[in-house]
Amino acid sequence: MIWSLLLVGALAGWAVLDGMNQGLGATLRQVGRTPGERRTVLTALGPFLLAGEVWLVAAAGILLAGFHDLERDLLLVGYPLVIALLVTWVLRDAGVWLRSRRPGVRWRAGWERVIVAASVGLPLSAGALLGTALVWLPPQPSLTARVVVPVLTALSAVAVTRVLGTTFVATRTSGVLRERAARLAGRALPWSAGLLAASAIAYVVLVPADGPVDAVLPPLVVLAGSGSALVARPALADGRLHRGLAAVVVGGALPVVAVAIALAPVASPASTLELVLLGCVPVLLAAQAWVWWTFRHPVGPRDAVFY
Reduce the DSSP state of residue 139 to 3 states and report it. Answer: strand
**pLDDT > 90 in the chain, percent:** 51
Contacts of 21 (CB under 8 A, 6+ apart): 45, 48, 49, 52, 53, 119, 165
pLDDT in tens, 86-133: 999 999 999 999 998 888 899 999 999 999 999 999 999 999 999 998
- Say how far apart CA 63 and CA 82 lie, in whole Å: 14
Helix then strand then coil, % of the chain, to nearest 5: 85, 0, 15
| Environment class of 291 (CB within 10 Å of its CB; exposed 0-12, middle 13-18, buried 19+) | middle
Contacts of 296 (CB under 8 A, 6+ apart): none
- Say how far apart CA 255 and CA 33 lie, in whole Å: 32
Average pLDDT score over residue span 30-44: 93
Contacts of 286 (CB under 8 A, 6+ apart): none
Report the mean per-residue pLDDT for the chain. Answer: 88
Q: Where are the beta strands (DSSP E) in 132-270?
A: none
pLDDT at 267: 64
- The answer to whether 134 touches 263, Cβ cutoff 8 Å, is yes
pLDDT at 109: 94
Average pLDDT score over residue span 158-165: 96
Question: Pick the residue with more confidence: 268 or 238?
Answer: 238
DSSP string across 249-263:
HHHHHHHHHHHHHHH
**Helix (H) and strand (E) counts for the chain?**
13, 0
What is the band of 214 on the pLDDT scale with cuts at 50, 70, 90? low
Q: Which residues pair with 136 in a beta bridge?
A: 139
CB atoms within 10 A of CB 209: 15
pLDDT at 278: 65
